[in-house]
Amino acid sequence: MANEIQDDLTPLFAALADPTRRAVIQTLGTGPKTVSVLAEHHDMALPSFLKHIDKLERTGVIATRKKGRVRTCHLHPRALRPVQDWLAQEAMRWGGAMDRLAAHLDAVDTEKKI
């Protein structure tokens, strides 16, 4: 089961690893944008920028629609749900460990005061 989760998360984390792609996701959070509008904010050639768009599209995080010569990108936030679920699970696991550590350190501190 852990490998299945890993396989679902690996392409998503790879897509999120790049600051350009994270910026695209953030920008699309306000609504659909054309590729040219998205590309304006990044200092790279359009073919290079399109590789980022393609990677996001292959993971399902965004979808694009072409009408004439204009390609518009739409965010699909549900595609990020596996990442959100995994992070929440890890936060609970680590939160419990941190709570136990804090309790232990409090107990040690109390013993030192006695």
Nearest to 20 by CA among 45, 110, 91: 45
Q: Which pTM does this prediction carry?
A: 0.76
Nearest in space to 58 (alpha carbons), one of 10, 23, 6, 1: 10
Stretch (H or E) spanning 74: strand 70-75
CATH of the domain at 67: 1.10.10.10
* Number of domains into which the chain is organized: 1
Q: Which domain holds residue 32?
A: 2-113
Distance CA 32, CA 39 (A): 13
d(CA 98, CA 8): 27
Tens-level pLDDT at each residue, the chain (114 residues)? 455 555 779 999 999 999 999 999 999 999 999 999 999 999 999 999 999 999 999 999 999 999 999 999 999 999 999 999 998 988 888 877 667 777 777 777 777 776
